[in-house]
Amino acid sequence: VWMPGPTMLWRTAGRSPSIKRIALFSSVLTRSGIKDPSRVNSLSYSSTERVPYLIKIFSLYFIMSNLSNIKMSPRRELDRLVVPRATIVAQFRDYHPEKFSSQGDPRIVDKWVQGLELIFEVMDCPDRYRVTCAQLQLTGDARFWWNAYWSMRPGEKEGCTWDRFKEMFREKYYPTYYRAEMECQFLSLKQGTRSVDEYETEFTRLGAFVPDLVRTEAQPAQPFTDGLHAAVRHNIVGYRALTYARTVAIAQEVDASIRREANHDHLQPISPAQSSIASPVPPAAAQPLKNQKRKGSRPDRQEDPTEATANST
């Protein structure tokens, strides 16, 4: 049985067999338990050994051939593709995620989902494994609901994405009154005295209850802009066709600039003329004499000496 090498596989795929790609593919084969593929055709390999190697090589080859549209580095994507599910689950459990049993305040649902998403982000968990990890944390009534839901939909569970899981979860464990309250808070949300970062965090949290308004990248930009402080909003309205991410970035820059100017004005040193201590005012000038008359007042009448003598007699 002839075993193709990395160069031949890349040429078969119609790609340029660059040294970087060949080295990457060879490293993947090595990590997958395959010996040096360039020596597979040598006499050191028996026919029975070549068959499983051939299967592994072509399986990885098809994975490699579909990496043209990835957004991250090929090596990182390959690590995610070849890692077994059991390894992902073991890594997930090492973070000691919380259990969920469907009891308590509806806000616990948000806290639980956000905790899982933080773990998934840290461990770089692929999307298709997130639902698997999350369902392991369901207990009590939540576990019963999960099993019953999919028992009525056979064959659909494998296609459940993480976004679909969160949508199902919120529909189940957010009461109608709670969702209506969160929707009202979202529609009336204003930045106020908060920073843009704090406002954006609250906007995102409440936006989970109104997915129709924030389903695309462009739609959330308008309600987000409407709730900004006037000083920040006036610097954004001149832009057109901004995405939500770009709107947030501009708002953060403007808000930071305004706060820096406010702090600068508040901490600006006082000039020497303003900081000099006024000299004490003499008591005579500070407090008018009792008999001192105002300017322009009628002078006191002078007493006649003869009249004073007559009065004394």
| pLDDT (0 to 100) of residue 169 | 87
Beta-carbon count within 10 A of 247 CB: 20
Q: Is the pLDDT of residue 146 over 80?
A: yes
Highest mean pLDDT among 76-90, 125-139, 237-251: 125-139
Task: Break the chain into its structural domains and give their ranges.
Answer: 6-82, 85-174, 179-265
DSSP per position, 107-164: HHHHHHHHHHHHHHHHHT--HHHHHHHHHTTB-HHHHHHHHHHHHTSTT-GGG--HHH
Model-level pTM?
A: 0.47
**Nearest alpha carbon to residue 150 among 140, 139, 135:** 135
Q: What average pLDDT does range 243-260 have in this prediction?
A: 90
Instruction: Give residue 22's pLDDT.
Output: 52
Q: Is the pLDDT of residue 270 over 50?
A: no
Buried b (16+ CB within 10 A) or exposed e, 169-181: bbeebbeeebbee
pLDDT, the chain, mean: 72
Region 227-237: mean pLDDT is 88
pLDDT score, position 13 = 46
Q: What is the distance between the alpha carbons of residues 44 and 49, in angstroms, rounded to a whole number?
A: 10
Task: Report pLDDT for 118.
Answer: 93
Rounded Cα distance between 87 and 265, Å, is 56
Give the residue-averaged pLDDT of 291-301.
52
Helices (H) and strands (E) in the chain, counts: 17, 0
